[in-house]
Amino acid sequence: MGLDGKKLGFIGTGKMGSSLIKGICDSGIIPSSHIYASDVFEASLKELHDNLHINVSTDNTDIIRDADIIVLAVKPQILKSVLSHIREEISSDKLVVSIAAGVKLEAIEDELKEGTRVVRVMPNIAATVAEAASAISTGRNASVDDADDVLAIFGSVGSSLIVPEHLMDAVTGLSGSGPAFIFPVIEAMADGGVFEGLDRNSAIVLAAQTVLGAAKMVLETNTHPGQLKDMVTSPGGTTIRGVHILEENGTRAAFMNAVIAASNRSKELGK
């Protein structure tokens, strides 16, 4: 049966929550009439209602009452408080999905009634354009069907896969924070184009499309990135000169260290 007829609720409509709601609405996997959202900020709710025609409320209990699957899209620092307020409202037929970075399944389950089905997800902001990378871990009470439902929901806004929970901090550092590492790369590449005479708009389009195309080649050809790089770097040519500069400036180490630092911060948030 899958998601047929199921209703999806969001507690929290910040940047990530709003991005997911928009992406899911655009995908059509769940009709907007079956999507609910709550927040303390009425302006955010009004915008979502006006633009996407979803159901909104400032009361979290309305969302819990109406939805079958409840996505907790609040900041990690306030998740415990939110859970304590909704604990008694969560019945056994509800599936709880958390996207709070760094907060472990056990910590969430401990705040809810015994037997509550919980799934943890680390998506990223590219859900806005249906290109998110989302990793999913299931709690001790979640079923295979629950996992399939969550995979389907987050797969509608990009790619979704299941990982063991102990790898979730690595996921957070890599794909959760990753878009913020790539945006400056696109900007810097465009700056190089501008330096060489391109107008700003053309340079940004070319840089962004170059990154998009390279990523698509990795995903669709199933070829190692190093092999793809070698396909472009002809002996004594222009590309190998550029690659040499990147290596000389420690680009690989910088990206590795960025992912490691973000992962470590995720571990800190989970304590």
The pLDDT tens digits for 70-129 are 999 999 889 999 999 999 999 989 999 999 988 999 999 999 999 999 999 999 989 888
The per-residue pLDDT for range 178-192, each reduced to its tens digit, is: 999 999 999 999 999
* Average pLDDT along the chain: 94
The predicted structure's pLDDT at residue 2: 67
pLDDT of residue 269: 76
**How do residues 195-233 score in pLDDT, each as one tens digit?**
999 999 999 999 999 999 999 999 999 999 999 999 999
- 2-11 as b/e: b if 16+ CB within 10 A: ebeebbbbbb
**pTM for the complete prediction?**
0.87
pLDDT for residue 35 is more than 50: yes
Cβ of 214: how many Cβ atoms within 10 Å? 14
CA dist 30 and 33 (Å) reads 8
Angle at 85 between CA 167 and CA 136, to 5 degrees: 20
Q: How far is CA 233 from CA 192, 215, 255, in A?
A: 19, 17, 21
CB–CB of 119/99 below 8 Å?
no
Asked whether residue 1 carries a pLDDT value surpassing 80, the answer given is: no
Q: Which domains, from first to last, does the chain contain?
A: 8-168 (3.40.50.720), 178-269 (1.10.3730.10)
Long-range CB contacts for residues 75-80, cutoff 8 Å, separation at least 24: 75/12, 75/14, 75/100, 76/100, 76/101, 76/102, 76/103, 76/269, 76/270, 77/269, 79/103, 79/108, 80/107, 80/111
User: What confidence category does residue 270 fall into, taking pLDDT thresholds of 50, 70 and 90?
Assistant: confident
